[in-house]
Amino acid sequence: SWPWQVSLQVRPRGSKYYVHVCGGTLIHKNWVLTAAHCFQNWRIVLGKHQLKRAESHFRYPAHSELDYDIALVKAATDIQSSNFIHYACLPRKQINLKPGHYCWVSGWGDTRGGKENVSLAEALNQAQLPIIDYKTCRQKKFWGDHVRDSMICAGFRDTEGTPAACQGDSGGPLLCQVGRDRWEVYGIVSFGPIGCTVENKPSVFNRTTAYIPWIEATLPVTYTNKDMYRKD
């Protein structure tokens, strides 16, 4: 249902198998948008059979991963679109999402909210989360000064039976619908509470619009108000 959703996987030392660790978003034929704290020597998995190894990755030039938890991963070969694989759209302009506006988070992260044993989902999951305004999320009983103005908070105050981004969802997209058929990546899953659903501790995302200039400087394309075009 989310054809741009990426699984970033790592092979543990001594193992023959790769395991999912973080999510990501395909935004170009060989570029994946994810969280900086996620990336190691992983491979990129899209669709049912197509596997691509990462060629390199570019992290936002900053000293703090909390402040600038964003990275671009370049695949070694092009990833062609198909019936199951598409490129996600980045926001066309700076838009402040209104509190209560619902967006979607997707990933293979833990659905049980375990504090110790993480149980990754076998199938891609999705959940609608309401946007929480910045001032509320900056309150001490929420996240306080851990939340910067380059971040978005989304989730529920009530923890009973409510969804949230969880371990394994990091790096994945916060998708908001713009118009009838356009979905834009407004956020990148960054952090949340241990256990995933904790009162007054919503999921926190890096706000994509804060990094559009850096993304454009790194990718071989430039995003315009209508579409994107190649720099060369």
Candidate list 20, 37, 86, 101, residue with the active-site label: 37
pLDDT of residue 144: 94
pLDDT of residue 159: 62
28 is known as an active-site residue:
no
pLDDT of residue 64: 54
pLDDT of residue 46: 67
pLDDT of residue 24: 94
The 3-state DSSP class for residue 83 equals: coil
pLDDT of residue 96: 76
232 is known as an active-site residue:
no
227 in the Ramachandran plot: left (φ > 0), alpha (ψ -120 to 50) or beta?
A: beta
Global pTM reads: 0.81
140 in the Ramachandran plot: left (φ > 0), alpha (ψ -120 to 50) or beta?
A: alpha
Domain ranges of the chain: 5-87+211-222, 102-209
Q: How far apart are CA 143 and CA 178, in angstroms?
A: 28
CATH class of 102-209: mainly beta
Contact 24, 175 (CB under 8 A): no
Candidate list 106, 110, 169, 170, residue with the active-site label: 170
CA of residue 191 relative to chain centroid, distance: 10
Per-residue pLDDT of the chain (232 residues; tens, 9 = 90+): 799 999 988 888 888 888 888 999 999 888 999 998 886 555 667 664 354 565 555 555 554 556 788 989 888 888 888 888 999 999 977 777 889 999 999 998 887 765 556 678 788 889 999 999 999 999 999 999 999 999 999 998 766 656 788 888 999 999 998 877 888 999 999 998 877 778 888 999 999 999 998 898 888 755 444 444 444 4
pLDDT of residue 63: 46
Q: Does domain 5-87+211-222 have CATH number 2.40.10.10?
A: yes
Candidate list 7, 28, 57, 69, residue with the active-site label: 69
pLDDT of residue 132: 94
Q: Minimal CA–CA distance to 8: which of 107, 95, 133, 102?
A: 107
pLDDT of residue 156: 85
